[in-house]
Amino acid sequence: MPRPTGRVLTLLELLQSGGTRTVAELADRLGVEGRTVRRYVRQLVDLDVPVESVRGRYGGYRLAPGYRLPPLMLGDDEALAVLLGLVAGRSGEMTTAAETASAKIRRVLPRHLARRLDALLETLAFTDRPGGAATPDAEVLLTLADAVRHRRPVSIRYTGRDGKRSERTLHAHGIVAHAGRWYVTGRDQRIGDDRTFRLDRIAAVRALPGSFDALAGSDPARRLVEAFATADYRHEVVLRIHGTAAQIRARLPESVASLEEAEGGWRVELRVERLDWLPPVLASLDRPFVVERPDELRDLVVAFAERLTSYARHGLGSAG
């Protein structure tokens, strides 16, 4: 079903078509109850839309005579934020309201901005249910989207995790929203290998002349997930867990760990900066497991289990 915001926009469109609409008619068109229609009307009134109530046998709601929705005046950042919100909702749950609202916004935008936003909508991907990623810098995101769409190399000024700044030439393959952040995946020409870059660490991006061939069979979202699962972090963890893949993935998703079927269960590998978050995760799995390495994790699991046992036996009396 369409989301409430989409239904409110649809209600406004119905009222703008002219005449008086009965509550029963609006409820039927929106797929809601009459009291919900009245709530949506109140939301429009709160937004200073002059909705009038018409009493009588054929009463209902109408817009005040002469009212027209003012032209949409959005800057690049504002238009980007609105469209990303719509496409994120659409990716999680396909809705007619989101589709029509997105199309209407693009129609009233300046042509140059509409083209750039269309390029973005063609190139972005989500690794999971979207909606949590903050909107990145508009110029960085739109320039990268254009580079992905037209296979143009770009120069980026990037600050790495260690704080070092560098300028890279990138053949960008895709833009991905993952775990609350935005990334661009592509081939770093300086090292001749695929890399992933966080958009909030890109200070500037500039299109370069020329073009490059698209990577055959490229799936930017999957490549990003695989890159995170095999990233070079401080600790390399290897576990053997008895259970189903679904049970393990519920606590250790693809972006965190790789799975390989083994005798009696699964071999799980992951690379992490810290180990202290793993014992509670392993406990929440509620499945038999073996820590193959590192020994430090095995010690942390034992210590965690001892603390839980102490709390269960002695309660608050043993808390320090």
CB neighbours (10 Å) of residue 197? 22
pTM: 0.48
pLDDT at position 90: 46
pLDDT band at 130; cut points 50, 70, 90: very low
pLDDT at position 94: 41
Question: What is the architecture, at CATH level 2, of domain 4-63?
Answer: Orthogonal Bundle (1.10)
Write down the mean pLDDT value for the chain: 79
Q: Residue range 265-280: average pLDDT?
A: 88
Percent of the chain with pLDDT over 70: 73
The distance from CA 222 to its chain's CA centroid, rounded to whole angstroms, is 14
Q: Is the backbone peptide bond immediately before 294 cis, with ω within 30 degrees of 0?
A: yes
- Write the Ramachandran bin of 250: left for phi over 0, alpha for psi from -120 to 50, otherwise beta: alpha
**Cβ partners under 8 Å of residue 295, min gap 6:** none
Identify the weakest region by mean pLDDT among 37-41, 130-134, 190-194.
130-134
Q: Residue range 150-173: average pLDDT?
A: 90
pLDDT band at 157; cut points 50, 70, 90: very high
pLDDT band at 217; cut points 50, 70, 90: low
- With 80 as the cut, is the pLDDT of residue 109 above it? no
CATH number of 230-315: 3.30.70
- With 90 as the cut, is the pLDDT of residue 170 above it? yes
Q: Residue range 105-110: average pLDDT?
A: 63
Torsion of CA 171, 172, 178, 181, to 10 degrees: 90
pLDDT at position 254: 76
Whether 142 and 75 have beta carbons less than 8 Å apart is answered as no
What ranges do the domains of the chain cover? Answer: 4-63, 76-221, 230-315
- With 90 as the cut, is the pLDDT of residue 153 above it? yes
